[in-house]
């Protein structure tokens, strides 16, 4: 019930739409009225837990659990925000309402697999904090150097002369620094400009310098900062600052995060393997104890049965008149054999035997390598025919592709019937590849029939035949290293799926937080598509920031929306935290899992090679031992 309430509350938060000047749509006003009901349910949950567990003072109490602390903060902030809205207290309640976005994280406390992944990430937090401290000192060092070199140097730009003609009164200033760069005609280099990006990227004080250096080490827009300093001071020595900044900060320090995460996952995998080996040893010992007990019980039972047999020898011995019905029962045996022979000689049995032989031969054929590679070649040709379709193609190509579509469909249909007949329906549909093939072929037949009755309409189902190229993964049966890699990836799919869900929750939380902070604020003349007005737009904006693409431009718009450099610099914290934890922590966990799986696959391949080499050596020694006596015997003869 609580999980359903959390999901419903997340849907309500996502349906809100933020308009400029804090205006609200009628739907948003109706959705706000549901807040009191959700607060009541969460208060009831917290109250029941406090009564059952206690509040804080003893071990195992409510506030001794981190998830319960988060729940308590969310509930308390919701109560304060609702009470403030009802009492009409003249206080900005956006901060308290922003805490509501943590409610999706309550899902983590109800899903055990998510807790395991999150605990693994939290275990890596201690070394990650050390890397973060190293990163901070590197940024601080370069920020102080930039403060010494570039403080106040980025406020000169080319302004139009006041004596120029009135017809040239447009574009009175440029958007780049000057000093080393010459200004155009009728422009002068003056020093009353706010700076690049509305004064956000500058080195006038340590805070601006820290933000600018952090932007540079993320390698997003760092060349623009370099060229701005070149325009202001010249390009002779600036590279001595920016190139070491990128090499040390971006190439080295930030990539240490991946090293730490992969190391922690390797340690966790080693702990799991050791525990698995220990449990296997305990299970073997338990089985051995049980087998010893069974053997003792069997020995006692055998001895007891032997004594019983010896005591009943006179009963077991049979007299000559005991099998008086043996002759009568043996009369029917020749008759039964004769009926079986006559049945075998019938025409139905002959046809059945031929059909069985045909099915066996077809089964052998569809399991051969030549049949497999022939079908794979047909799939590749079909994919090529689908791929060469283009705009304004000649008519002969359209006709060729039209008839080729029927040809390939007939060939794949024949393949499906051969496999289904040779293997039988049960074995055929046991393979997931065969199920996918059957679905694609049936869908293609439906598409052809639909196109026949409704010309010009297509569902594009035939394109799915290209996915049949995934059959090539069957080659892993003969390629040991690739098989081990696929097996390692399949074994980690549970962790990857849990991590994907955790990443989705992270995106949802930051999208909802962005809606609370910047919803309806991105009203600029360029009509930027990145905004936080609606939930889908916020999700897309957060995902763009996670990929690192133009995240600095979104941050500039966020600072502008809150009043610019004078009153909106606090909003940069949102984008810095999102970039650090999303891009450089959560996304690097995927890389850490991939690196760990690659190392595990290499270990499996190495172990298999060692086992194969040991087997070959043992086999060679056995042959040598067999050949030795034979050679000595021949020499003696």
Residues near 374 by beta carbon (within 8 Å), at least 6 away in sequence: none
* Token pair listed for 605: 């391949």
For 300, half-sphere exposure in the C-beta direction (CA atoms, 13 angstrom radius) is 6
DSSP 8-state assignment for residue 54: -
One-character DSSP codes across 338-356: HHHHHHHTSHHHHHHHHHH
- Choose among 314, 403, 423: nearest CA to 361: 423
**What is the phi/psi pair of residue 18, to 5°?**
-100, 130
For 318, half-sphere exposure in the C-beta direction (CA atoms, 13 angstrom radius) is 5
Indicate if the alpha-carbon torsion angle 426, 431, 437, 443 is positive or negative: positive
Q: Which long-range contacts (CB under 8 A, 24 or more apart) does 180-188 make?
A: 180/230, 180/231, 180/232, 180/233, 180/234, 180/235, 181/230, 181/231, 181/232, 183/158, 184/158, 186/160, 186/161, 187/158, 187/159, 187/160, 187/161, 188/158, 188/159, 188/160, 188/161
* Dihedral in degrees, nearest 10, Cα atoms 223, 229, 235, 240: -70
- Choose among 118, 240, 232: nearest CA to 182: 232
- Answer yes or no: are the C-beta atoms of 547 and 479 closer than 8 Å: no
- Choose among 592, 547, 551: nearest CA to 575: 551
Radius of gyration (C-alpha) of the chain in whole angstroms: 38
In this structure, how many other beta carbons lie within 10 angstroms of the beta carbon of residue 35?
18
* Token pair listed for 179: 């000093």
3 state SS of 424: coil
**What is the phi/psi pair of residue 172, to 5°?**
-75, -10
Is 288 annotated in a binding site? The answer is no
**What is the phi/psi pair of residue 2, to 5°?**
-65, -40
Residues near 512 by beta carbon (within 8 Å), at least 6 away in sequence: 10, 13, 14, 100, 101, 104, 535, 538
One-character DSSP codes across 94-122: HHHHHGGGGGGGHHHHH-HHHHHHHHHHH
- What is d(CA 332, CA 192) in angstroms, rounded to the nearest whole number? 120
527 CA to centre of own chain: 33
Is 220 annotated in a binding site? The answer is yes
> Edge to edge, what strands does the sheet with 157-160 contain?
173-177, 157-160, 187-190
Residues annotated within a binding site: 220, 549
Residues annotated within a binding site for Ca(2+): 220, 549
């Amino acid at each position: 019930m609580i999980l359903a309430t959390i999901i419903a509350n997340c849907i309500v938060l996502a349906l809100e739409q933020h308009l400029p000047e804090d205006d609200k749509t009628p739907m948003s006003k109706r959705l706000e009225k549901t807040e009191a009901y959700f607060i009541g349910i969460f208060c009831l949950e917290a109250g029941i837990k406090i009564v059952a567990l206690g509040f804080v003072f003893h071990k195992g109490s409510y506030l001794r659990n981190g998830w319960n602390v988060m729940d308590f903060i969310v509930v308390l902030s919701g109560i304060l925000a609702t009470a403030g809205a009802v009492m009409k207290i003249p206080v900005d309640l956006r901060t308290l309402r922003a805490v509501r976005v943590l409610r999706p994280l309550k899902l983590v406390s109800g899903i055990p697999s998510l807790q395991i992944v999150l605990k693994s990430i939290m275990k890596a937090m201690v070394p990650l904090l050390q890397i973060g401290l190293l990163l901070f000192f590197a940024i601080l060092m370069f920020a102080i150097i930039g403060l010494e070199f570039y403080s106040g140097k980025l406020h000169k730009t080319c302004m139009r002369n006041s004596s120029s003609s009135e017809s040239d009164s447009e574009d009175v200033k440029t958007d780049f620094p000057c000093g080393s760069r010459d200004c155009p005609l009728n422009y002068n280099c003056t020093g009353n400009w706010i700076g690049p990006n509305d004064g956000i990227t500058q080195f006038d004080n340590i805070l601006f310098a820290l933000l600018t250096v952090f932007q540079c080490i993320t390698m997003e827009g760092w060349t623009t900062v370099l060229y701005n300093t070149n325009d202001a001071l010249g390009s002779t020595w600036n590279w001595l600052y920016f190139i070491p900044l990128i090499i040390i900060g971006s190439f080295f320090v930030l990539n240490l995060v991946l090293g730490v995460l992969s190391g922690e996952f390797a340690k966790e995998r080693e702990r799991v393997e050791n525990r698995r080996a220990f449990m296997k040893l305990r299970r073997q010992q338990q089985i051995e104890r049980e087998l010893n007990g069974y053997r003792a019980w069997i020995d006692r039972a055998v001895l007891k049965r032997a004594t019983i047999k010896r005591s009943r020898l006179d009963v077991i011995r049979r007299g000559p008149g005991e099998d008086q019905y043996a002759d009568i029962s043996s009369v029917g045996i020749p008759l039964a054999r004769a009926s079986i022979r006559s049945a075998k000689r019938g025409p139905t049995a002959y046809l059945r035997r031929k059909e069985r032989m045909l099915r066996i031969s077809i089964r052998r054929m569809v399991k051969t390598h030549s049949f497999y590679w022939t079908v794979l070649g047909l799939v590749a040709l079909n994919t090529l025919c689908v791929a060469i379709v283009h705009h304004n193609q000649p008519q002969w190509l359209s006709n060729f592709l039209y008839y080729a579509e029927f040809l390939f469909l007939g060939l794949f249909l024949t393949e499906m019937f051969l496999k289904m007949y040779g293997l039988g329906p049960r074995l055929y549909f046991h393979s997931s590849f065969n199920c996918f093939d059957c679905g694609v072929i049936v869908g293609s037949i439906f598409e052809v029939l639909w196109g026949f009755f409704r010309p010009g309409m297509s569902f594009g189902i035939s394109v799915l035949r290209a996915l049949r190229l995934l059959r090539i993964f069957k080659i892993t049966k003969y390629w040991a290293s690739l098989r081990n890699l696929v097996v390692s990836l399949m074994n980690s799919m549970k962790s990857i799926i849990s991590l994907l869900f955790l990443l989705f929750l992270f995106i949802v939380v930051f999208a909802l937080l962005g809606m609370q902070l910047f919803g309806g604020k991105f009203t600029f003349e360029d009509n930027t598509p990145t905004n936080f007005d609606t939930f889908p737009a916020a999700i897309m904006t957060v995902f763009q920031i996670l990929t690192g693409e133009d995240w600095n431009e979104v941050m500039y718009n966020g600072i502008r929306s809150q009043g610019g450099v004078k009153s909106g610099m606090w909003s940069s914290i949102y984008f810095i935290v999102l970039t650090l934890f999303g891009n450089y922590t959560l996304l690097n966990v995927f890389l850490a899992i991939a690196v760990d799986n690659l190392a595990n696959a290499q270990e499996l391949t190495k172990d298999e090679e060692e086992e194969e080499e040991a087997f070959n050596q043992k086999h060679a020694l056995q042959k040598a031992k067999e050949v030795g006596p034979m050679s000595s015997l021949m020499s003696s003869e």
